[in-house]
Amino acid sequence: MAKKRRFHPMVADDLSSATNYYDEISVDLGNRLRDLSQRPESFGCVHGIMRVATVNRFPYVLLFENRDEFVAILGVFHAASDQSGWFERSI
């Protein structure tokens, strides 16, 4: 059974910025980027208990924590962006 997901308040803005860019190129590209459903335990830890999943065919990463009770989605970031602020988010 899939765990419940909790989202950091800024995730909506992160995802909106990314999908708006791809929607301008092709709505199909934007829709593929929106489909972010992968198994959280299949990704290694990168900072404490934080994990990063790459988004297939896009230069974006999904930052999350796989907790016992839920998966905490902390952000959607461009892979080439400054990583210094990535690990400051928490739920």
Give the model confidence (pLDDT) of 40-49 as tens digits.
676 777 887 8
What mean pLDDT value characterizes the chain? 80
List the one residue out of 58, 50, 62 whose CA is nearest residue 11. Answer: 62
d(CA 54, CA 26): 21
Predicted structure pTM score:
0.71
> What would the pLDDT profile of 52-83 be if each residue is shown by its tens digit?
888 777 888 888 888 888 888 898 888 898 88
